[in-house]
Amino acid sequence: MAELDELTYEAVEDEESFLDQEWAPSEAAHARDEDAACEDDCEGEGELGLTQPQLEELARLYPERVRVRRPLADMTTKEVGCEGEVMAAAFLLSNDFEILDTNWRCGGREADIVALDGDEVVLVEVKTRRRPAGGRDEIPELAVDHRKQEGYRALALLYMAFHSEVRHIRFDVIAINLVVGGGSRIRHLVGAFVWDE
């Protein structure tokens, strides 16, 4: 069964640096353990709390995406997806994941993020949806259907073929709802699907 981590992101509807945005854990946030929960509550009064090296890593991974963002209402569907990928990477960095690669492509398939969680390699699919203020959150993770999961399994085999040191890969999904006018929600499904379903 997948673990679920949630985070609320307070978006600002004008042009400004992504790195200046504020993030805060939602009430439904699920900490990996009690110590992590205490740290989240105590540090930065609920802000995501990326360190300067993590901010620099995010800027290195997405140099064009983190400089200036357009208002959410003016973004194309592709730009909304790109915004979600940057947010997902920031979320993973804040939870002590190491980002190994972004948009890793092979065999006509792509993993949005390849990360390291401790000693476990994780292929992360990011699904982002935009909704109007006052609208209902969608469930973006439902788009990771059987066909998408099969594609990720094939991609994982290719990744292991190119990285012989990797013995196991986990599949996570990060689902993001961006709200026009401000605010967003991130759900992290740890082990969202497995190899043999």
pLDDT at 184: 80
Within 10 Å of residue 115's Cβ, how many Cβ atoms? 23
3-class SS of residue 4: strand
**Measured between alpha carbons, how far is 178 from 186 in angstroms, rounded to an integer?**
9
Task: Determine the structural domain holding residue 64 and report its residue range.
Answer: 3-193
Model confidence at 41, pLDDT cuts 50, 70, 90, reads very low
**Measured between alpha carbons, how far is 190 from 197 in angstroms, rounded to an integer?**
16
User: In sequence order, what are the beta bridge partners of 99?
Assistant: 115
What is the tens place of the pLDDT at every residue in 4-39? Answer: 444 444 433 333 334 334 343 333 333 333 333 322
Number of domains in the chain: 1
Least confident of 61-75, 119-133, 149-163: 61-75
**Measured between alpha carbons, how far is 16 from 107 in angstroms, rounded to an integer?**
37
Question: Can you give the CATH number for the domain in which 174 is found?
Answer: 3.40.1350.10
